[in-house]
Chain A
Amino acid sequence: MLEYAQFVLAPQIVTGLALGVAVILVALGLTIIFGLLDVINMSHGEFYALGAFIALALGQVGLPFWLLLVAVPVLILPIGYAVERGLIQRVFHSEDRHVTTLLLTFGFGLVLEDALRLTFGPNPFKPETPIRGTIEILGTYLPLYRLFMIVVGGLIIAGTALVVYRTRLGAMVRAAAFDRNMAASLGVPVERVYAGAFAFGVALAGLAGVLLAPIYSVFPTMGRDFILMAFTVIIVGGMGSIGGAVIAGLFLTQVQAIASLYISPVWTDPIVFAIMVLMLMVRPQGLRGRLGHA
Chain B
Amino acid sequence: MKSLRTSLATLSLAALLGGGAMAAEPIKIGVVTPLSGTYAGIGQQVRWGLELATREVNAAGGIDGRQIELIFEDEEANPAVAVQKAEKLFQVSKVDFLTGTVNSGSTLAVGQLAERSGKLIATTVSFADSITGDKCSPNVFRVNAKAGQQSAALAAWLSKEKPQAKVFYLGPDYEMGRSTVAAFKSNVDRVGGQSLGEVFAPLDSKDYTQYFGQLRASRPQVLYTSVAGNDTVRLFTQLDEFGLLNNLTLLGASGTVTAQNITAIGKAAEGFVTGVGYSAEIDTPANKKFLAAFRAANKADPDLYGADSYGLIFAYKAAVERAKSTDADKVREALRGLKWSTPQGEKTIRAGDHQAEQIMYVVRVSDGKFKIVGQVDGPAAIGPDACTRF
A interface residue numbers (CB < 8 A to B): 3-4, 7-12, 15-16, 18-19, 123-126, 129, 132-134, 141, 143, 145-146, 215-217, 219, 225-226, 256-257, 260-261, 264-266, 269
Contacts and interface: CB of A to CB of B under 8 A. Distances in A.
Interface in B28-70: none
B241 A145 contact: yes
B241 A9 contact: no
20 contacts: A7-B213, A7-B216, A7-B217, A9-B213, A15-B212, A124-B230, A124-B233, A124-B261, A126-B233, A143-B242, A143-B243, A215-B207, A216-B207, A217-B264, A219-B230, A226-B206, A261-B214, A265-B173, A266-B200, A266-B202
Nearest to A146: B241
Contacts of A257: 210
A239 B213 CA distance: 34
Contacts of A265: 173, 199-202, 205, 210-211
Contacts of A16: 210
Nearest to B260: A123
A3 B261 contact: no
**Among the interface residues B202, B230, B238, which one has the most CB atoms of the partner chain A within 10 A?**
B230
Interface of B: 173, 199-202, 204-207, 209-214, 216-217, 229-230, 233-234, 237-238, 241-243, 260-261, 264-266
Given A141-B243, A143-B243, A264-B173, A217 B213 contact: no
Given A15-B209, A124-B233, A265-B199, A215 B266 contact: no
Contacts of A15: 207, 209-210, 212
Contacts of A124: 229-230, 233, 261, 264
B241 A217 contact: no
> For the complex, would chain A's binding face be called helix, strand, loop or mixed by DSSP majority?
helix
Nearest to A143: B241
A180 to B, nearest CB: 37
Given A15-B212, A216-B207, A264-B200, A126 B237 contact: yes
Contacts of A19: 206-207, 209
A11 B238 CA distance: 14
Contacts of B210: 12, 15-16, 256-257, 260, 265
